[in-house]
């Protein structure tokens, strides 16, 4: 897993890409993709102890499918030729910090980019767009299903995300995209156990330390 992380260049994330998640936080559904990024120092594998910051208020999990880019983006190149890997991860959010930043109209980096804020599984081969759309993923929080989702419910499909990010920021081999989280995000506390599930395959457990 360390070798996979070493090859990652840019970590792009998509905000509010599931309508029910946007609504559960009282946010408007976006008309175009909302893109932010995390530093590579935020990456953490889906196993072992996960140290999260204390004293910053509530820290929320946001479970997401993650795709890996295998070649430099060029307009018109099919997604299947650009994406070479599929994983699952957690986009951790310091929610109280984020709410203050939103009120001030400041960037979200303090709320999204702290160390260990980008949990990520090993990658499997990308199955193609048709199979991608049928995937099911979920998060088990202390043994109970907390989040469930499928790419078919994305506001902006993967093709749109790849073209939008590629055209505005650039995409190349080693970049990854967290594609957005479904409804059901919530806080964790010290000692919680998390398991990620992608199409029946389990990753973890993660043990939260705060």
Say whether 86 sits in a helix, a strand or coil: strand
pLDDT of residue 19: 77
pLDDT of residue 90: 98
In this structure, are residues 140 and 30 in contact, taking their beta carbons and an 8 Å threshold?
no
In this structure, are residues 52 and 31 in contact, taking their beta carbons and an 8 Å threshold?
no
What secondary structure, in 3-state letters, does 101-148 show? Answer: HHHHCCCCHHHHCCCCCEEECCCEECCCHHHHHHCCEEEEECCEEEEE
CB atoms inside a 10 Å sphere around CB 5: 14
pLDDT of residue 30: 73
- R_g of the chain, CA atoms, integer Å: 16
Domains detected in the chain: 1-208 (3.90.850.10)
* Token duo for residue 2: 């360390």
Averages of pLDDT over runs of 10 residues in the chain (210 residues) are 82 90 64 95 97 95 98 96 98 94 91 97 97 97 97 96 98 98 96 97 97
pLDDT of residue 4: 77
Please name the helix (run of DSSP H) or strand (run of DSSP E) that holds residue 81, with its range, or none: helix 79-82
């Amino acid at each position: 897993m360390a070798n996979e992380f070493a090859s990652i260049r840019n970590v792009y994330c998509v905000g509010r890409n599931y309508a029910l998640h946007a609504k559960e936080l009282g946010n408007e559904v976006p008309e175009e993709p909302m893109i932010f990024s995390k530093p590579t120092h935020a990456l953490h594998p889906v196993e072992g102890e996960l140290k999260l910051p204390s004293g910053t208020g509530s820290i929320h999990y946001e479970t997401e499918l993650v795709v890996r880019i295998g070649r430099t983006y060029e307009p018109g190149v099919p997604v299947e030729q650009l994406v070479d890997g599929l994983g699952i991860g957690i986009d951790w959010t310091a929610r109280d910090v984020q709410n203050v930043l939103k009120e001030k109209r400041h960037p979200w980096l303090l709320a999204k980019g702290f160390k260990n804020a980008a949990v990520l599984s090993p990658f499997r081969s990308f199955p193609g767009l048709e199979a991608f759309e049928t995937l099911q993923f979920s998060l088990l929080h202390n043994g109970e299903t907390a989040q469930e989702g499928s790419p078919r419910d994305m506001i902006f499909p993967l093709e749109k995300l790849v073209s939008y990010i590629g055209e505005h920021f650039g995409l190349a081999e080693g970049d990854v995209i967290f594609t957005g989280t479904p409804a059901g995000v919530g806080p964790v506390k010290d000692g919680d156990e998390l398991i990620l599930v992608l199409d029946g395959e389990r990753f973890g457990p993660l043990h939260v330390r705060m």
